[in-house]
Amino acid sequence: MANLSVRDLVCTASLGVAAVGISLFIYAKVTGTGFCKKKCDKKGSVVNQNIKKGDSKVVDTFDLEDIGDKKVFCRCWRSASFPYCDGSHNKHNTETGDNVGPLIVGKKSN
């Protein structure tokens, strides 16, 4: 080891780092653990996880006269009372770091 130059040591260290990086990449691919598994998981990326899953598209229509003074609508798709907001976005935001909130529709206050 005393006969190795600085250049030789740098080359050897570079090869070692590259080998470790490639090994970790292959391990992550083979085991499916990936470095962004939670964020990149295809099943976890579905926005609507349980509301009207039998429908090809979820559409809710409201007449403005029926809304009254104010209604609060869900935009996170986690509400048990969908399409109305029940505050489920708070838990979703805490778990995911997201910042989604409800849609509030009401009469303009003067």
Instruction: Write out the catalytic residue numbers.
Output: 57
Residues with Cβ within 8 Å of 79's Cβ and at least 6 positions away in sequence, in order, are: 85, 86, 87, 88, 89
d(CA 38, CA 42): 9
For residue 4, list its beta bridge partners. none
